[in-house]
């Protein structure tokens, strides 16, 4: 049962992840519009161009604007249009300090943009004012200022105006607050793309490093309905997941209780075995003490016997040697043997004498017997 619950929970997790991915794919194509705190999108309209549009057809013309636009009034309410691609390679170009007019790129490209000098609010433009508009423009370059290296964007360092349909490709490097279009976004960015590489450590973004003060998402009603349906499915899956999670938690709790009970029994058995082995160890120690006492007694007996043996060996050392004793006894033995031989000779002689005497005695008895018989007759 627990395995089935875990498998079902895994399936629900996969469904939730798939649904979340689908929602993310739905949201990606939506237009993201960032609004200023006190300005609505409807208030940000492109200013009407005055009579006489200023055309920019060379790097020199763009550099001239950069040198003179040190205050907002220089570009305020003026309209600028590119009439050709502009190459800033090998040009001494610095970011336009502040721009509050309208710059229409008309699809042309500013390429070779290179910013490496010490600068904050670095980009093609340092600051786009609230009345400023930049649109229909392509920018290619490498923006890597030295020094503090903060507030860097492919189009502008800080945007308070409108940037529409502008594309950037290249490299951006900064310590913090760096974005492919704007470092700080406090205005409107629409239909812009970044195809470049952005490097930074803090507040880094593909479009904007920082969005101020908030971001609002605009989408169509049919997309909203689809999103709501997907959210309903997500909520349902979430509820099912919660139920499965509760079931799994309960099963885990039961397993935990069972494990705790088994641990208690194991501990009890372990304590019993430990007491048994302690008792066996005590008995072994007692028997070992007895063996030691017996061994001590044996050692004392051996020591006593060894002492007695040593004394006897000393006595033996004081006695005559065995060879002397044997020689002396051998002499006595020879004398004894000789004596025995003499006795044997004497015995033989006595036997021979006795036999002679027996023969004489028999003869005498026969003689005596014959005489007696004669007298009877």
Q: Show pLDDT as tens, one digit a residue, over the chain (377 residues).
A: 556 656 666 566 666 665 565 555 444 444 344 433 333 333 333 334 445 799 999 999 999 999 999 999 999 999 999 999 999 999 999 999 999 999 999 999 999 999 887 767 889 999 999 999 999 999 999 998 877 668 899 999 999 999 999 999 999 998 889 999 999 999 999 999 999 999 998 999 999 999 886 555 555 667 777 788 888 889 888 888 889 888 888 888 888 888 988 888 888 888 888 888 888 888 887 877 787 787 778 778 777 877 776 676 666 556 555 566 667 767 777 777 777 777 777 777 777 777 777 777 677 767 766 655 544 44
Q: Is the Cβ–Cβ distance between 273 and 280 less than 8 Å?
A: no
Query: H or E stretch including 21?
Result: helix 2-27
Q: What is the pLDDT of residue 248?
A: 87
**Residue in the block written with tokens 């500013």:** 110
| The model's pTM | 0.46
Q: What is the pLDDT of residue 216?
A: 53
Q: How many CB atoms lie within 10 A of CB 109?
A: 17
Q: What is the pLDDT of residue 50?
A: 44
Q: What is the pLDDT of residue 271?
A: 85
Q: Is the Cβ–Cβ distance between 158 and 182 less than 8 Å?
A: yes
Q: What is the pLDDT of residue 46?
A: 36
Q: What is the pLDDT of residue 296?
A: 78
Phi–psi pair at 145, nearest 5 degrees:
-70, 150
Phi–psi pair at 54, nearest 5 degrees:
-90, 115
- What whole-number distance in Å separates Cα of residue 160 and Cα of residue 187? 4
Rg of the chain taking only CA atoms, in angstroms: 66
Q: Beta-strand (E) ranges in 144-279?
A: 150-153, 156-159, 162-173, 176-179, 182-185, 188-190, 193-194, 197-199, 202-205, 208-211, 214-218
């Amino acid at each position: 049962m627990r395995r089935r619950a875990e498998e079902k929970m895994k399936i629900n997790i996969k469904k939730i992840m798939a649904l979340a991915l689908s929602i993310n794919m739905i949201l990606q194509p939506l237009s993201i519009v960032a609004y200023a705190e006190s300005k609505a999108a409807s208030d940000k309209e492109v200013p009407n161009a005055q009579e006489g549009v200023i055309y920019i057809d060379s790097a020199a013309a763009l550099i001239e604007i950069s040198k003179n636009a040190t205050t907002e009034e220089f570009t305020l309410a003026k309209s600028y249009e590119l009439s050709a691609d502009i190459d800033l390679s090998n040009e001494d170009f610095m970011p336009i300090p502040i721009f509050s007019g309208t710059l229409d790129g008309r699809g042309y490209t500013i390429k070779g943009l290179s910013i490496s000098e010490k600068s904050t609010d670095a980009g093609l433009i340092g600051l786009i004012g609230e009345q400023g508009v930049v649109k229909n423009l392509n920018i290619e370059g490498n923006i890597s200022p030295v020094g503090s290296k903060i507030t860097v964007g492919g189009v502008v360092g800080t945007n308070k105006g409108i940037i529409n349909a502008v594309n950037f490709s290249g490299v951006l490097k900064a310590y913090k607050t760096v974005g492919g279009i704007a470092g700080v976004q406090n205005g409107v960015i629409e239909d812009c793309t970044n195809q470049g590489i952005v490097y930074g450590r803090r507040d880094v973004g593909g479009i904007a490093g920082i969005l101020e003060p908030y971001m609002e998402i605009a989408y169509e009603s049919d997309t909203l309905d689809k999103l709501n349906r997907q959210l309903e499915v997500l909520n349902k899956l979430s509820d099912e997941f919660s139920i499965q999670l509760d079931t799994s938690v309960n099963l885990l709790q039961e397993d935990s209780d069972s494990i705790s009970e088994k641990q208690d029994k194991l501990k009890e058995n372990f304590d019993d075995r430990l007491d048994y082995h302690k008792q066996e160890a005590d008995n072994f120690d007692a028997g070992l003490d007895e063996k030691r006492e017996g061994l001590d007694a044996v050692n004392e007996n051996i020591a006593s016997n060894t002492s007695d043996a040593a004394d006897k060996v000393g006595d033996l050392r004081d006695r005559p040697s065995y060879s002397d004793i044997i020689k002396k006894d051998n002499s006595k033995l020879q004398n004894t043997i000789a004596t025995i031989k003499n006795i044997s000779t004497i015995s033989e002689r006595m036997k021979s004498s006795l036999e002679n005497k027996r023969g004489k005695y028999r003869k005498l008895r026969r003689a005596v017997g014959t005489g007696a018989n004669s007298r009877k007759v």
